[in-house]
Amino acid sequence: MAQRADLLEFDCQLTRDGVVVVSHDKNLSRQSGLNKDVDTLDFEELPLYKEELEIYFSPGHFAHGSDRHMIRLEDVFQKFPRTPMIVEIKEKNEELIHKVTNLARRFDRSEITIWASEKNSVMKRCKAANPEMPMSFTIWRSIWILLLYYLGLLPFVSIPERFFFCFLPTIINRTYFPFSCGCFNKLSALVTKWVIMRKSLIRHLQDRGVQVLFWCLNEESYFEEAFSLGANGVMTDYPTALRHYLDKQELKAPASSH
């Protein structure tokens, strides 16, 4: 937030005593070294994060922080009441969905809290629980939209989603869906890049009121690629690096005349 981020993105899990916590993983091994699931522990029993935590999308790089406690969603809403946030729900958990819904309503932030899930079945439950919260595309809806785009039918189909979150295929080799064979990584990166990286598709979605964001980009060349395609924004593990990049671009841009 010190780097003027416009949006926060995180996943949520539910503890045994019903507290919604911000946690990427359900199992705590990678984050904390404890081989237990979040939902088998009460909030007060949750372990600290590791002193040194490898960054998921930057293998070989490590994060350090003075405060290693896991935090409640409520704490984040309280600290940043008007900051838009993407809340990803990974599994079909009615109690978790309803608690997120209630928190968004309690803090009067339904319109700036975005549902995210990879699964259609989970997204249906999220939308039913709080239809005021904007939706993002699930994996299957993304594939469907791409198919309609290539068939030329996309202009004739309604799009209820407001956000399209997409990984940048360039990062596939090292970090996302890494195959054991490097050739498959290169091929999958090439194919997905050819299919998804279309300025006309991104522009069409934006014209229909959909914001397009790429994740999870941690290098300047990736920021460059995403914004050159017309992305509304990018998600990163390095907000300071992204802020430096954006400030440099502002300095390069010619001053607008009035």
Domain layout of the chain by residue ranges: 8-129, 139-252
Q: HSE on the CB side for 105, CA within 13 Å? A: 10
Q: List alpha helices for 19-114, DSSP H.
A: 29-32, 73-79, 94-106
Q: Bridge-partner residues for 135, per DSSP?
A: 115
Q: What is the pLDDT along the chain (258 residues), one digit of tens a residue?
A: 999 999 999 999 999 999 999 999 999 999 999 999 999 999 999 999 999 998 887 888 899 888 999 999 999 999 999 999 999 999 999 999 999 999 999 999 999 999 999 999 999 999 999 999 999 999 999 989 989 999 999 999 999 999 999 877 766 655 555 556 666 656 666 666 666 668 899 999 999 999 999 988 999 999 998 999 999 999 999 999 999 999 999 888 765 544
> What pLDDT is recorded for position 65?
86
Q: How many CB atoms lie within 10 A of CB 132?
A: 12
Burial class from Cβ neighbours inside 10 Å (0-12, 13-18, 19+) for residue 198 reads: middle
Can you tell me the distance from the alpha carbon of 68 to that of 46, in angstroms, rounded to the nearest whole number? Answer: 11
Q: In terms of CATH architecture, what is 8-129?
A: Alpha-Beta Barrel (3.20)
> What pLDDT is recorded for position 60?
87
Q: Bridge-partner residues for 14, per DSSP?
A: 20
Rounded alpha-carbon distances, angstroms, from residue 159 to 110, 118, 155: 20, 17, 9
165 membership: H or E segment, kind and range: strand 163-167
- pTM over cut 0.85: yes
Q: How far is CA 244 from the centre of its chain?
A: 21
> What pLDDT is recorded for position 177?
58
